[in-house]
Amino acid sequence: MQYDLSEEDILDVIISLIKQTYAGFMDYPADAVIDPKTFFVDLGINSIDHAEIMTLAMEKFGVDIPVEKFACTNCLVDAAKLFFKALCKGG
């Protein structure tokens, strides 16, 4: 599945997934603006939560990214770049 999305569009989707999934038990309001350079750990997202977010994003975009690649994403911008690269290659 090919998408015509920019890195910013992808970033918005990832932030939306985080808010939908975790805003209820994070230390910020659901309508808070999240800086794209924010590290997952600074949002209170541990490695298991990180894996779940990345899995939700993979399902949303219809791509499969090896765990060792998404494990190297420490912040939201890194994750958006990884998905952008995967989508440009066609999944």
Core vs surface per residue 73-85: b (16+ CB within 10 A) or e: bebbbbbbebbbe
pLDDT (tens digit, 0 to 9) for every residue of the chain, 91 residues total?
445 789 999 999 998 888 888 766 666 666 778 888 989 898 888 888 889 999 999 999 999 999 889 888 999 999 999 999 999 875 4
Q: Cβ distance 21 to 52 under 8 Å?
A: yes
Q: Give residue 24's pLDDT.
A: 65
**pLDDT score for 1:** 46
pTM of the model: 0.82
Q: Cα(84)–Cα(49) distance, rounded to whole angstroms?
A: 21
- Give all domains of the chain, ordered by start, each with its CATH number: 7-23+33-88 (1.10.1200.10)
Q: Please give the Cα distance from 88 to 51 (Å, whole number).
A: 22
Identity of residue 50: H
